[in-house]
Amino acid sequence: MPSSAPGLVSLSLADAQLISDGAIEEAERQGVKVTISISDSGGRILLVNRMDGAPWGTVHGSQGKAIAAAGFNLSTGRLAPHGDATDVGQTHQHVRRSEGQHMIFARGGVAIFRDNVVVASCGVDGGTGEEDEKCARAGVARIQA
């Protein structure tokens, strides 16, 4: 599979579009207007789709969640919230600063695994955290069925 950097496992553009289509269908079902961002495992964007009527801030929101999910190999709802003083919280915040402050630690970003290896991530923004995460998971399910 072609990748965006040597040794970096990625997702094809065609699969990224399948995920986005699935996420948008779920957003339409829920009646929310969102942006979907799919990134490779390095957090670099592969695809962005902004639904008609979704505000442009959601472009940045969805990318921030996708980058965070790729950086930690987990869904962003599990990352320590801002101000968390525990060791884990401090580490998460340090990673976020080191990366350039693009990461968003809020629900709606999920890591995409293949054979237990993270190959990409999907970030959704525009609804509540719960709605966004549901869209992202519905999208990712399209390539994992």
Partner 1 sequence: MTLKLSEAKRIAEGAVKKAEELNIRISVAVTDTGGRLIAFNKMDGGIWAASYGCQGKAAAASAFGMPTSEIVEKVDPIEIKEVDIANGGHFALGHGGVPIYREGILIGACGVGGGSGGEDEACASAGVASTI
Residues near partner 1 (CB under 8 A): 1-5, 10, 12-13, 17, 35, 40, 42, 44-52, 56, 59
Cα–Cα distance, 114 to 129 (Å, whole number): 25
Whichever of 14 and 145 has its CB closer to partner 1, that residue is 14
Least distance in angstroms from the C-beta of 4 to partner 1: 6
Q: Please, what sign has the CA dihedral across residues 128, 35, 10, 7?
A: negative
Coil, strand, or helix at residue 123?
strand
Nearer to partner 1, 62 or 93 (CB): 62
In angstroms, give the least distance from the CB of 48 to partner 1: 4
Q: Give 44 or 113: the residue with its C-beta nearer to partner 1.
A: 44
Is residue 88 classed as helix, strand or coil in its secondary structure? helix
Q: Report in angstroms how near the CB of residue 62 gets to partner 1 at its nearest.
A: 10
Counts of helices then strands in the chain (DSSP H, E): 4, 4
